[in-house]
Each structure stands twice: as structure tokens, then as C-alpha cells.
Amino acid sequence: MRPEFIPVGQIVNAHGIRGEVKLNPAGFDPAFLAAFDTLYIGGKETKVKSARVHKSTVLLVLPGVEDMDAALALKGKPVFIRRTDAHLPEGEYFDAELEGLTVLDDENGEELGRLTRVLNYPAHKVYEVRGKREYLIPAVREVFIRGVDMETGTMRVRNMKGLATDED
């Protein structure tokens, strides 16, 4: 089941004295987030007045946030987008959508466990799967990830020696 809201980052600070806030994306391209007109900050729908990419963050101008004190009041607040507002290419999913999927060995259909966490590394993401054993599966399509079926809540993977954390 797809979540209604997708966590995308956190407000980490004020930027300047005119009320801009700095959004630190959590595994997202800042330009992708800067394109949204509506964000959900601290559980409240917020229309974005303007957004721009600054280094690896997004600087936001929000209604009612006119000075540094108002911007600092948002520090630490989680930021979400509504899933229906986001348009990903066919076959791509947000990390929050993948967490909880049942992971199956593509070769024999054996259940390996549930995808519990998506770890972000510079080269690529790694899926943490827990079942009878714990697996760390590189999120590389066609090599390790054979397919995702959101209707059945399953992910098929190529299981290889060394992916289980207790193997030598």
C-alpha cells in the first residue's frame, strides 16, 4: 500500500534575516523538491512562495515566515510531499513506498524477509532486508533488483552468496 505522504527532508536552519528556511533533502535531488508548490511541514499544508537550490539544499520562502525568528521556529520540522503530487518515471518508487515490501528470491520464489530500511550511499542505495537472516542488497536494477510489484507488495531480487550479513 502506498503511503499518502512521503518524507523528503527536514528544515535545518534559517537562511539570512528575511525568513528563508533551509530544507535539507533526505535522499532527494534538491531540484526535484524545489519544483513542488505545496509542502507539508510539521504536519501542516504549506504553499511555497518560492524555492531555489543552494548547494545541496533547498531555500524556501514560505507564507507568514517574514524574519529570522519565524524561520528558526521551523527548525527541526520534518517536510513531506503528497504522493499524488509527485510524478516518477514508470518503475521508480520512493524509499517510503518500498519499505515493508516482502522480498522474494527471483530464482526459487523463497521469501527472504521484509525490506526494513533503505540505506543511502554515494554509489547507490542498499536495501536492508530482515527475515530468518539479514540481507544487504544493492539497489541496482537488472543486476540485483529483478522487479517490484506494488499490487502484491513484493520485490524480486537476485540472491547471491555474500548478501546475507552472516555469510563469509
Question: Which residues does 152 contact at the CB level (< 8 Å), separation at least 6?
Answer: none
56 shares its domain with 30: yes
Look up the domain containing 53 and give its range. 5-84
Report pLDDT for 120: 85
Indicate the pLDDT class of residue 88, thresholds 50, 70 and 90: confident
107 shares its domain with 147: yes
Indicate the pLDDT class of residue 92, thresholds 50, 70 and 90: confident
Q: In what order do the strands lie in the sheet with 154-157?
A: 134-138, 125-130, 111-120, 102-105, 154-157, 145-149
β partners of residue 46: 39
- What cell numbers appear for 6 in the block? 512521503
Whole-model pTM: value is: 0.83
* pLDDT tens digits, one per residue of 56-84: 999 999 999 999 999 999 999 999 999 99
Q: Does residue 20 lie in a domain region?
A: yes
Inter-residue contact 120 to 27 (CB < 8 Å): yes
How far is Cα 39 from Cα 56, in angstroms, rounded to an integer? 18
Q: Does residue 167 lie in a domain region?
A: no
If one counts the domains in the chain, the total is 2
21 shares its domain with 50: yes
78 shares its domain with 100: no
How far is Cα 154 from Cα 145, in angstroms, rounded to an integer? 11
β partners of residue 156: 104, 147
75 shares its domain with 18: yes
Q: Rounded to 5 degrees, what are φ and ψ at 83? A: -55, -40
- Residue where one domain finishes, among candidates 84, 117, 147: 84
Burial class (CB in 10 A: 0-12, 13-18, 19+), 58: buried
75 shares its domain with 116: no
Q: Does residue 49 lie in a domain region?
A: yes
